Amino acid sequence: MEFKISKDFIAHIEQLISENKEQELNDLLQDVHFADIAEIMDELQSHEASYIFNTLDSEKTAEILLELDDEVREKILKNLTAKEIAEELDELSTDDAADIIAELSKEKKEQVISELEDVEHAKDIVDLLRYDEDSAGGLMAKELVKVNENWNVLTCVKEMRAQAENVTRVHSIYVVDDEGRLKGRLSLKDLLTTSTKTPISEVYIPKVDYVKVDTENVEVARIMQKYDLEAIPVVDELGRLVGRVTIDDIVDVIKEEADKDYQLAAGISQDVEADDSILELTKARLPWLVLALFGGFISVKVLGLFDAAMKEHAELFFFIPLIAAMAGNVGVQSSAIVVQGIANNTLNGSLWKRLVKEFSLSLFNGLILGIILFLGCYFLLSSDIKVAFTVTTALLAVIIVASFLGTFIPITLDKYGIDPALATGPFITTSNDICGILIYFFIAKAMLGF
């Protein structure tokens, strides 16, 4: 059951810290999960968070470090010596330890690595640090269970027992050759039901999904999601098994990617959080607001070109917000579906085929919305039938064009290596607003003859 952190509980924690009741604090947090403790520390002032961190044992604080907000973790690490940080990292798996070391300055990074007691652990961490953090190599952990294809079952079991001591959870047993190249995987059921003298080469499963060290993290996430994998092996350029990526790391990748796409769709160009400084939030939000402002200027200029039309047919003015809103909404809907398809790798067929389908869909939707608008104009607003027909025709044209743009733009952006999520935000909304107004008045000019 999830632990609920209330204001009263936080206040009680603060009181214990202020009264320096270390033992009571330790007893209170003894059975609290490390993720919940990290959440508690995120709510406290930095000196209070540090007090809790120094109170608990290193086995728990090591896990807490991973869950802390970046800013809180940075302050805590700043107050720890290289030796103290090394003691924390000794409790973590190689991938998690490498993530924390990567946040340190170059000088402190070297000091911490030199203080690590386990030489093999230190070598594995250093090896992981050379990979790009957004690649399979940057995600993977070195801890895994592997056996040689030339061993028999008895030898395999003995080796597995020794290796499993350093692995928190055994998802799979990997089979390698004498050069360390990945050959396949071993079923635990087959291992338990086979004679102890049987060679592993006769029982292992040669088919195994894997990724290379330079595979992008989003691609790793896609593969694991597609095949429902809890872990996937990672091989180097020569096909040698060098690590594994587990589902907990992939969940973080999926969440980060979703957060980034959501922010891009909202017109936020940098990765920010609600608690960031005003300057950081401004830098992330201002560029797209400036774009929207320029788009507004262009819309005003476009309206100025049709000043005479609005004087002759003043009722046209009242439909401008409706046309602009429909253009933006249809464009965002179309682009959102396309972006989702690109992200999930489910967007099949050519661009032409996609545009034809979008035309059919927008024509069908546009006709229904057009009929509703025409009836509303004629019966509810008592508009002239010619004006009602003009507005309805313009709406249909705007919907078709907006859906075309919403489909074409994200596919084109993706083709040129630009994140297509940009197309679901102010970019598509602003461009469709301008196009919608232009189409509206050109059709009005053609049909009403001004």
Residues 111 and 149 in one domain: no
Domains contained in the chain, number: 3
* Residue at 218 is within a domain: yes
pLDDT (tens digit per residue) in 86-96: 988 988 889 99
* DSSP code per residue over 171-230: --EEEE-TT-BEEEEE-HHHHHTS-TTSBGGGTSB-----EETTSBHHHHHHHHHHTT-S
| Element counts in the chain: helices (H) and strands (E) | 21, 6
* Residue at 38 is within a domain: yes
pLDDT (tens digit per residue) in 203-247: 999 989 999 999 999 899 989 988 889 899 999 999 999 999 999
Query: Rounded mean pLDDT of 107-122?
Result: 90
Query: Rounded mean pLDDT of 1-17?
Result: 83
* DSSP code per residue over 251-268: HHHHHHHHHHHHHHHTT-
Domain boundary among 131, 162, 190: 131
Domain containing residue 157: CATH number:
3.10.580.10
Pair of tokens at residue 420: 């297509």
Task: Domain of residue 162: give its range.
Answer: 145-247
Q: How far apart are CA 397 and CA 408, in angstroms?
A: 16
* DSSP code per residue over 24-79: HHHHHTTTS-HHHHHHHHHHS-HHHHHHHHHHS-HHHHHHHHHHS-HHHHHHHHHT
Residues 21 and 114 in one domain: yes
β-partners of residue 145 are 173
pLDDT (tens digit per residue) in 432-445: 888 888 898 888 88
> Residue 73: phi, psi to the nearest 5?
-60, -40
**72: amino acid identity, one letter:** V
* Residue at 435 is within a domain: yes
Q: How far apart are CA 389 and CA 319, in angstroms?
A: 13
Residues 237 and 115 in one domain: no
* Residue at 252 is within a domain: no
Residues 331 and 401 in one domain: yes
Q: How far apart are CA 333 and CA 325, in angstroms?
A: 12
pLDDT for 437 equals: 86
pLDDT for 304 equals: 77
- The sign of the torsion formed by the CA atoms of 38, 42, 44, 46 equals positive
pLDDT (tens digit per residue) in 308-325: 766 777 778 888 888 888
pLDDT (tens digit per residue) in 366-408: 999 999 998 888 777 766 788 888 899 999 999 999 998 888 8
Residues 175 and 102 in one domain: no
Residues 100 and 68 in one domain: yes
Q: How far apart are CA 162 and CA 314, in angstroms?
A: 84
Question: Kindly report the CA angle at 165 between 221 and 121, in degrees rounded to 5?
Answer: 70
Percent of the chain with pLDDT over 70: 90
* Residue at 309 is within a domain: yes
pLDDT (tens digit per residue) in 40-74: 998 888 889 989 998 888 778 888 998 888 888 88
Residues 332 and 227 in one domain: no
* Residue at 425 is within a domain: yes
Q: Is the pTM of this model over 0.95?
A: no
Question: Kindly report the CA angle at 136 between 132 and 139, in degrees rounded to 5?
Answer: 80
Q: Three-class SS of residue 168?
A: coil
Residue 189: count other Cβ atoms within 10 Å of its Cβ: 8
pLDDT (tens digit per residue) in 270-287: 665 666 667 777 776 777
CA dihedral (342, 354, 327, 393) in degrees, to 10, reads -170
Domain containing residue 434: CATH number:
1.10.357.20
* Residue at 270 is within a domain: no
